[in-house]
Amino acid sequence: MKQFRFLLLISLSANLFSSPIPKPPDLGVGSYILYEPTTETVIASFNENESVEVASLTKLMTSYVVADQIKQGYISMEDEPTISIKAWQTPGSQMFVREGTKVKVSDLVKGMVIISGNDASVALAEHIAGSEENFVYLMDQYAVDLGLINSDFNNSSGLPDPNNVSSALDLAKLTGAIIRDFPDHYQIYKEKEFSYSAPGEYVAPQPNRNRLLHLDDMFDGVKTGYTRAAGHCLVGSSIRDDMRLIAVVLGSGIDKRFADVRALVGYGYQYFKTREIVSSGDVIDSLSVIAGNQDSVSVGVDKSIVMTLKKNIDLEFQILAQERIVAPVVGGTTAGTLKIIDEDGNIINESELIFLEDVEKLGFFQYWFALIWDWIKSLFI
């Protein structure tokens, strides 16, 4: 068994103690979450794993599936599927397609994303999978792949159905996946209005249901939803100083949901920051080497460590490395473990420590002399 020893303990913060911060806003809603997608950090939450009906937020899953099907080449934005009677008769919010007409996928996507057209959702589902029922199977498979453990879908639009459920956490993860995997597709979410008119008709432009786009420039998406069972729901995403936050509020009020999301992201930007704690390839420390052509070897991490943390926080690094490092040393191989510990003594990150350079061993006689001398010294320690 390899022996490990404690080698280094340093504080990254200039503060002896970090400043306290207030509790997150008390929203009085069914559930909520404030989420940083790059580091997958939950900053604040309430009932975030509770599976509930989420109304038109269901369309986020439909949107993800559609975007991936386009990316994979199974369908094209230029396709013109024929609108079925089922899609035409779908109740609720609509982009007003007509049965038997051909509508471009690009228009259907905008109709679903910008004005929450249930008819557009069904038309897209049928174009991809032949039927909405088959499309729902795809939705659930994608949900599994994305790790959405609290979600189970039963339609593509979010129409009332007690078996069509998700959670605040799953919706935050799903939104993060849309932004990460399909950045061009995500740009549609910030468009403020959309108009579609069937042949021979005129329909005035409909505004994006997400009023955040009109209230604050830092918001660039994403989706509203409402049914009697779900209440008024909202997913909002914003970016400030290169830090993206996603807020999900479920079971709020028609106007209150917008204030709720703004309160959450305001709290996040005021007290938290996403930053690179350790850069890839940077020297964290140098460890002694026995019988090598140099006496020490630099160690660091292979991948940068990026975390979302309170702005003023004391961190400690602990490096656990082998008791005796004997040449030769191969750069890029494991040197030990780097642990990052917060002010409460919790390990918040644990990463592999690697050697950043090669160290060759000495010539035959010098090599064995160095080993014997190290053994003699160890007898007196």
Residue 280 known to be catalytic: no
Structure tokens at 177: 């996946």
Residue type at position 62: T
> How many angstroms separate the CA atoms of 157 and 116, rounded?
8
Q: Give Dmax (Cα) for the chain.
A: 96
Judge whether 256 is annotated as a binding position.
Answer: no
Which helix or strand (DSSP H or E) is residue 174 part of? helix 168-181
Beta pairing class for 31-36 and 41-46? antiparallel
Task: Tell me which of 56, 84, 157, 237 is the catalytic residue.
Answer: 56
Q: Which residues neighbour 254 within 8 Å (Cβ) at sequence distance 6 or greater? A: 226, 232
Task: Tell me which of 31, 45, 59, 156 is the catalytic residue.
Answer: 59
> How many angstroms separate the CA atoms of 305 and 339, rounded?
11
Mapping DSSP to helix (H, G, I), strand (E, B) and coil, where does residue 280 land? coil
Residue 13 known to be catalytic: no
> How many angstroms separate the CA atoms of 180 and 38, rounded?
9
Task: Tell me which of 31, 63, 93, 116 is the catalytic residue.
Answer: 116
> How many angstroms separate the CA atoms of 117 and 123, rounded?
10
Residue 51 known to be catalytic: no
Residues of the binding site for substrate: 223
| Catalytic site positions | 56, 59, 116
